Amino acid sequence: MRQRAVHLYEAFNERFWWEEEGTYYLGLDGLKRPIRSVASNAGHCLASGIVPPDRANRVVDRLMQPDMWSGWGIRTLSTKHPSYNPYSYHLGSVWPHDNATIAGGFRRAGRHTEAQQIAEGIFAAAERFEHYSLPELWAGVAREPGAYPVPYLGTNVPQAWAAASVFRLIGILCGIHTAGHAKVIYVNPDLPDWLPDLTLKNLRAGKGAVELRMRRDEVEVVSNTTGFEIVHGRIPRPPLKETPLART
């Protein structure tokens, strides 16, 4: 499995990397030619760990350019693309679950500020929807002072993975990862200015729950009946295999 993973890592980075744009091609067409579309999908690659560290920074920078970053979240497609339509379903709209996954990739790449920026955009949008209920998606119209996110006609509200995005983003800001096999919960908060402290209650794990009180990068375990050890710090990850691609 490890050999297959290394092969996938190398093949993906060789065939899909778009050097000129500092991101990954959207895909390959029927003739195996690269599809030259700057899209939000590259952020999911960051979350998966398949992106080498130096390329990860370039992908973050590219996705936060004005043609991708709307202020309410990252668009599914660049405003520079001929097919861009902010009112479409996938050609320039903003999806909260898409952004939550991307924010996780940003944090994994060490770009905490940009991950916080995505969270702020999604939370700000939620404040402007009825009952703070995030819809499935909204239009990719740029955020202006005093403006509201433009709804997408026919969007699903409520919608499960949109609602789950809130919890995912909170987990990202708090740096929470669980290693179930080792019975360890890693907590590594990095809370922004607009959310300097946060308390999580009844966080279920194992046979019980944990309550955590966090301020900026500090964490206090108020109670823990889970049987899991709470570790303040990052979850250990194996280093990327040294390959020519990883060094470029």
Q: What are phi and psi of 204, to 5 degrees?
A: -80, 135
Q: Among 128, 153, 174, give the residue marking a domain's end.
A: 174
C-alpha neighbours within 13 Å on the C-beta side of residue 143? 20
pLDDT digits (tens, 9 = 90+) for 39-79: 999 999 999 999 999 999 999 999 999 999 999 999 999 99
pTM: 0.93
Output the average pLDDT for the chain.
95
Rounded average pLDDT over 227-234: 97
Please tell me whether residues 95 and 168 are part of one structural domain. Answer: yes
Please tell me whether residues 163 and 201 are part of one structural domain. Answer: no
Please tell me whether residues 136 and 204 are part of one structural domain. Answer: no
pLDDT digits (tens, 9 = 90+) for 232-246: 999 998 766 544 444
pLDDT digits (tens, 9 = 90+) for 88-130: 999 999 999 999 999 999 999 999 999 999 999 999 999 999 9
Q: What is d(CA 50, CA 46) in angstroms, rounded to the nearest whole number?
A: 7
pLDDT of residue 240: 60
Please tell me whether residues 137 and 214 are part of one structural domain. Answer: no
C-alpha neighbours within 13 Å on the C-beta side of residue 236? 5
Q: What is d(CA 7, CA 243) in angstroms, rounded to the nearest whole number?
A: 11
pLDDT digits (tens, 9 = 90+) for 182-195: 999 999 999 999 99
User: Looking at the 3D structure of the chain, how many domains does it have?
Assistant: 2
pLDDT of residue 113: 98
CATH number at residue 7: 1.50.10.10
Please tell me whether residues 89 and 130 are part of one structural domain. Answer: yes
pLDDT of residue 238: 72
Q: What is the DSSP string of 92-111?
A: S-B-HHHHHHHHHHHHHTT-
Please tell me whether residues 170 and 187 are part of one structural domain. Answer: no
DSSP 157: S
pLDDT over 90 for what percent of the chain?
A: 94
Q: Which domain holds residue 92?
A: 2-174
Please tell me whether residues 7 and 121 are part of one structural domain. Answer: yes
Q: Please state at what angle helix 41-48 crosses helix 96-108, rounded to 10 degrees.
A: 40
Residue 13 has pLDDT above 80, yes or no: yes
Residue 248 has pLDDT above 80, yes or no: no
- β-sheet bridge partners, residue 197: 215
Please tell me whether residues 152 and 188 are part of one structural domain. Answer: no
